[in-house]
Structure 1
Amino acid sequence: MDQRISFVTLAVTDLDATRRFYVDGLGWHPELDVPGEVLMFRTGEHLVLSLWDRDHFAEEVGEPTMTGIAPITLAHNLATKEEVDGVLALAREAGADPVSDAVQRDWGGYTGYFGDPDGYRWEVAYNPGDIGRLVLPD
């Protein structure tokens, strides 16, 4: 088996609110948009983020059972600290809640977080190490 991830799929409670946040607020462009069912965004060379209506998700995968903050973060890494601050400001303008300002971390990075309409947490990060450079676009 190849060592890779092709899709990240998240169940969402209100697909219209999710569309407004990602498309209208953050300016993302969907690769697939099926109203009432799913939104898919190409988020990397071979990676798609699929935001699936919760009821459709439950029919195929099973009923999600989590409450509170999901024990997962999605990350958007950038080449500079200034870009991190800019993305966090854009998320705030798009209605993200909560948004935590970026801070310098003990491990050398600079990161902040925002929540999407379903509370999924996005880390916005500048990581000066080798692993941080590995995930930046060419």
Structure 2
Amino acid sequence: MNRFLLDGRYGAVLQSFGLQPIAVLKKAGLPVTLFTQEHPVITQDAYFRLMTTIADLMPDESVSIRMATMESIETFSPPIPSVVAKAIDKAVNQKRPKTCYVIGFGAKPLIFLHSVLPARCFDWIMMHAS
């Protein structure tokens, strides 16, 4: 199942549009502490419920577009690409960089599985992982 990382500013954005974040989360059936977590990750179904709830509570249909365009790309800072950028920065600034950097959640266990499982078995697991 796909997972979505919520930027920590969702609560503030909802408030700027006149919505109470806790009320939105309750109506969507999500934990009320979601926006206070450090890196909140939700499932595709939960993300859809959240966006549907926001759309239901807002009379203006252009809110979703305005929410998406509020932040410039320079100020948007999702942590997953920052992990990649950090690894690139580390490789560029080392005297003798490694030929391969393992980054991201679950990368090391996947490399281990790839080394011990037959190729077809590993491919089957990867095809059915989401």
TM > 0.5 between the two? no
Q: Return the TM-score normalized by structure 1.
A: 0.27
Q: Return the TM-score normalized by structure 2.
A: 0.28
Q: Which of these two proteins has the greater Rg computed from alpha carbons? A: 2
Structure having the higher helix fraction is 2
Structure having the higher strand fraction is 1
